[in-house]
Structure 1
Amino acid sequence: MTAIPFNKPFMTGRELDYIREAVESGKISGNGLFTRRCHELMRRRFDFHATLLTSSCTDALEMAAILAGIGPGDEVIMPSYTFVSTANAFVLRGARIVFADSEPGTPNMDCRQVEALITARTRAIVPVHYAGVACDMDPLLELARQHDLLLIEDAAQAIDAYYKGRPLGGIGALGAFSFHETKNIISGEGGMLTVNEPSLSARAEIVWEKGTNRSAFWRGEVDKYGWVDIGSSFLPSDITAAFLYAQLEQLDAIQQQRRLLWERYRAALAPLGEQERVRLPHVPDYASNNAHMFYLVCRNLDERTGLIDHLKSQGIHAVFHYLSLHRSPYYAPHHDGRELPWCDHYADTLVRLPLFHELSLEQVDRIAAAIHDFYG
């Protein structure tokens, strides 16, 4: 029986051609031909004000923390059920993280809790669009307006996903995307910062270019460039951008296939959801589904462990996901002690099923049959 991996990176067929073109151009460092092509494609398709490719989504988040002016003593509100990079970007600037619990219906941050967490020291709210499904953004936008806070979207999983018709990553002042090999659109490692607040775009480019006005120099806007702000080497190689551009060109085809697989999972596993054996992903009316992930929520930790082990015995690699950041060895001593029961529930019960472009419908059916078998 052929094993089914959790993930398999997909190539569209043009990646090596574009990498060769980048190499032959004579410039393979950052901000080359393919970087500019990626920037333009993403701006044009999603109407972002400005886009900057980065070496990772982690880098994009770290840029966002710098642009937000986060410093020691500031507080940043975000979910506990997220990857460590969401928090680490702001901890590196000296911030204190104030964690919000997840929703009962989705692993996303419960936006109804956020207002009570705002203090005089709060500087930013960082919603995470888990599985590419939007958080309820309108209440967060209103809170940001009322309290003069920056709204920064962690859209790592959310390319081509929408909230009430608006593209995720384009709603907050800043947004961060991932192109890690486990995402819908990949470049191995890679990310992108979106700048939707025009007043931040000039500084974003400087932070991106190691704190220099080098890009302005190359455009002929200044006669020399120098060190004008803090920053770092956030640019990816143009080889990475070349790979990414081949992926972005095929975004619609990639998304169509992933949605086909996602819907096959939902149809095959619907009876278990109806029987309340497991909980299937919920997509609220205000959100679209970009088919980044198909997950199940089991009833308890032992059940999830048993399900993963059962699938493994059938040659199927399924995985659990985040551990609660407020309980992590590093940050637990800094947490304010509030219980976050829904976050802990997802940490104990959520299991991710294989979902990648080359997964076949027959393999989805085999995975679903194995899950039905586990539940008897």
Structure 2
Amino acid sequence: GLVGLGRIGQEVASRAQAFGMRVLAHDPYISEEIARNLNVELVSLDELCAQSDFLSLHVPSSVDTFNMFDADRLSKCKSGLRLINTARGGLIDETALADAIESGHIGGAGLDVFSQEPPTETRLTTLPEVVATPHIAGSTEEAQELVGVEAAAGVRDYLRLGIIRNAVNFPAIAPEETQRLQPFVNLAQKIGAFVAQLATGRIKTVNIRYYGELATGKNELLVGAVLMGLFKTMLSTTVSLINARAVARDRDVEVIESHSTRPRDFTSLLAVRLETSLGQLWVEGALFEHGGPRVVLLDGVEIEASIEGASIVIRNLDEPGVVGTIGAVLGEHGINIAQFALGRDSTGAVAVVNIDESTDTEKLNPDGTVIKALLANPAIKSVDIVRI
């Protein structure tokens, strides 16, 4: 049993499961989904005490947790329980614990922390059923060196790879989970930036949906990446994976996540739908083995378009001559086409034209000559410039 299923509690759960143990936990701040992904069952504190053979505490010291294991709580524990506290002193009424061990109701205890350190009352620590350690593991020369190395490695990993470890204001994510998500973080950020530059009106809601392999596991990194890409195109303030949700909340932008098991044509797919004061914009993206991040759906129209560098996004009626117009206009203005992606359905067509970065940016302003020349064709309904 675990009281507290945060970063350390999750590590203890993993190690307990390696020994074939069934793991229960009580933590009112952990979602059912997270617990389910960890193969841990969330229960009430009373149920946890009644069922656990071993009980490990991993909660902070607060008014709510002070002496949470008092005589009454200990009496509700399963007979023979071994109680472990390596978290904070003050979580256990030490006199009550000594009484419970001497009576035979509690089988023993492992204690690294005490209400007073070093403990002056030796009755509990001298019991043969108690293993007491002096809470100095972090004070050795080796530990202090490791703390420094870990802090430096944490900064390095974030700056180089975007991996966040042990943050106090961001959910803890296991290294293997970070490694699984890292390629999709790049995709999510670019999809966020892509939809932001196509959207019109005030953003009200950001809907993020995961398909395929992305539909399992924790995807908080992807939420932050979508929002970071979205807001970085709009704001001059710093937006990061850590503060992206707070930025959305401050601007009254609702963030909704959903998971779908519906089969799609891709192993993993990320969909983002923006709801604005003027309508909706729906984009789906996927990773291609040799093509990198790609847009594969734009407002319901299937397409396969690169989202690197500068692009011109064109919506038009599906009529002859539009592609020729696009090529002619860009050629006349000295704009070189790097890639041209086209998609169409019964409602019309969409083109994403990747262009060389050397293009004169003034020509591509909303009132620039290129945009005006393209819109002169009555079949072309809109032209947007996207820079990733």
Which one has a larger percent helix, Structure 1 or Structure 2? 1
Q: Which has the higher contact order (CA 8 A, sep 6+)?
A: 1
TM (norm. structure 2) is 0.27
Which one has a larger percent strand, Structure 1 or Structure 2? 2
TM (norm. structure 1) is 0.27
Higher Rg of the two aligned structures: 2
